């Protein structure tokens, strides 16, 4: 499934695989000035290409190496071999060989699919990406993943935040995420003068600093509570239940890859990948 929304010069694509009549676990890609920021998942690659209606894109920037962000790279590159693909230096090997470096859990295969390999050029902190009309500053923002990038356009005051900012109050976390690093990255982008934020796991926000600060305050408050309960000798499961409530469907669907327990473990520095 694909839903297109325009924000002036920017087009947002919300993408998901249709299962039992409705879209599940949506992901997002953006298009502006013949550049795509992320390309969604493998299952929606053809649909995304179709909706571009012949727009000859020339650049793809992947915010990070999760499979729901670079799934159509290879498909679009086959349509136009002149496309340049960019990602953080440590993401490029994952993009080049996803089967080896990112074998997928069953739920990830089902909802998003394993992307075909794609070759990306390395893009590091403080690099500048130019399109015909805009200049984007590249900001390394680890936490959600070690290879996560945000893009900032200072003249337009646009902030593209990938999966760094997610909507709502987090009650669970994915394996491998580093919550303290994520908070530091949120602080880094909160300092930028921005009027619009374009996330991949939340709706578009005006005046991003307010939303970012609220998120930081919430995550820091929960962090303090986790550490206090840990010092009192409470177990991980008990802390998860008391701070983040009852069991969530996503914990079952992801077979423990995305859970309340992971969020607690990350605050305690123990959320290692599995």
* Interacting residue ranges for Zn ion, rule: CB under 5 A: 66, 163
User: Which of residues 63 and 196 has its CB atom nearest to Zn ion in the complex?
Assistant: 63
Instruction: Return d(Cα 165, Cα 116) in angstroms, integer.
Output: 27
Q: Identify the bridge partners of residue 156 per DSSP, sorted by sequence position.
A: none
User: Which of residues 157 and 204 has its CB atom nearest to Zn ion in the complex?
Assistant: 204
Instruction: Return d(Cα 246, Cα 268) in angstroms, integer.
Output: 20
User: Which of residues 58 and 102 has its CB atom nearest to Zn ion in the complex?
Assistant: 102
Closest approach, Cβ 8 to Zn ion, in A, equals 26
User: Which of residues 66 and 261 has its CB atom nearest to Zn ion in the complex?
Assistant: 66
Asked if 3 and 18 touch (Cβ cutoff 8 Å), the reply is: no
Which tokens go with 31? 């298009």
Closest approach, Cβ 155 to Zn ion, in A, equals 28
Measured in whole angstroms, the distance separating CA 210 from the mean position of its chain's CA atoms is 20
Residue with tokens 């206090």: 228
Residue with tokens 């179709």: 50
Smallest Cα–Cα separation from 114: which of 91, 93, 94? Answer: 94
Closest approach, Cβ 163 to Zn ion, in A, equals 4
Smallest Cα–Cα separation from 35: which of 92, 76, 2? Answer: 76
Closest approach, Cβ 79 to Zn ion, in A, equals 25
User: Which of residues 67 and 153 has its CB atom nearest to Zn ion in the complex?
Assistant: 67
Closest approach, Cβ 64 to Zn ion, in A, equals 6
Instruction: Return d(Cα 169, Cα 242) in angstroms, integer.
Output: 15
Closest approach, Cβ 178 to Zn ion, in A, equals 13
Which tokens go with 133? 């009309």
Measured in whole angstroms, the distance separating CA 258 from the mean position of its chain's CA atoms is 14
**Would you mind telling me the total number of residues written for the chain in this entry?**
274
> CB-side exposure of 190: number of CA atoms within 13 Å?
16
Smallest Cα–Cα separation from 36: which of 68, 14, 1, 10? Answer: 10
Closest approach, Cβ 197 to Zn ion, in A, equals 16
User: Which of residues 107 and 134 has its CB atom nearest to Zn ion in the complex?
Assistant: 107
Asked if 252 and 207 touch (Cβ cutoff 8 Å), the reply is: no
Closest approach, Cβ 7 to Zn ion, in A, equals 22
* Residue nearest to Zn ion as judged by C-beta position: 66
């Amino acid at each position: 499934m694909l839903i297109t929304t325009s924000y002036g010069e920017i087009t947002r694509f919300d993408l998901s695989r249709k299962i039992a009549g409705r879209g599940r676990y949506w992901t997002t890609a953006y298009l502006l000035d013949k550049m795509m920021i992320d390309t969604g998942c493998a299952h929606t690659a053809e649909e995304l290409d179709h909706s571009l209606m012949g727009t000859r894109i020339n650049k793809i920037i992947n915010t990070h190496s999760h499979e729901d962000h670079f799934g159509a790279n290879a498909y679009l590159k086959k349509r136009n071999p002149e496309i340049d693909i960019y990602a953080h230096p440590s993401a490029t090997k994952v993009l080049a060989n996803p089967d080896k470096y990112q074998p997928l859990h069953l739920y990830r295969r089902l909802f998003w699919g394993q992307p075909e390999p794609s070759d990306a050029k390395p893009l590091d902190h403080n690099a500048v990406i130019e399109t015909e009309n805009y200049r984007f500053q590249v900001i390394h923002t680890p936490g959600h993943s070690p290879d996560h990038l945000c893009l900032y356009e200072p003249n337009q005051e646009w902030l593209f935040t990938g999966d760094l900012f997610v909507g709502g109050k987090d009650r669970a976390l994915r394996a491998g995420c580093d919550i303290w690093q994520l908070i530091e990255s949120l602080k880094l982008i909160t300092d930028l003068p921005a009027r619009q934020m374009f996330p991949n796991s939340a709706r578009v926000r005006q005046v991003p600093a307010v939303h970012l600060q609220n998120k930081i305050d919430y995550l820091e408050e929960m962090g303090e509570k986790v550490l206090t309960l840990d010092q009192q000798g409470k177990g991980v499961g008990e802390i998860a239940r008391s701070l983040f409530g009852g069991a969530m469907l996503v914990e079952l669907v992801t077979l423990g890859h995305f859970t309340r327990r992971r969020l607690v473990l990350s605050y305690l520095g123990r959320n290692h990948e599995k």
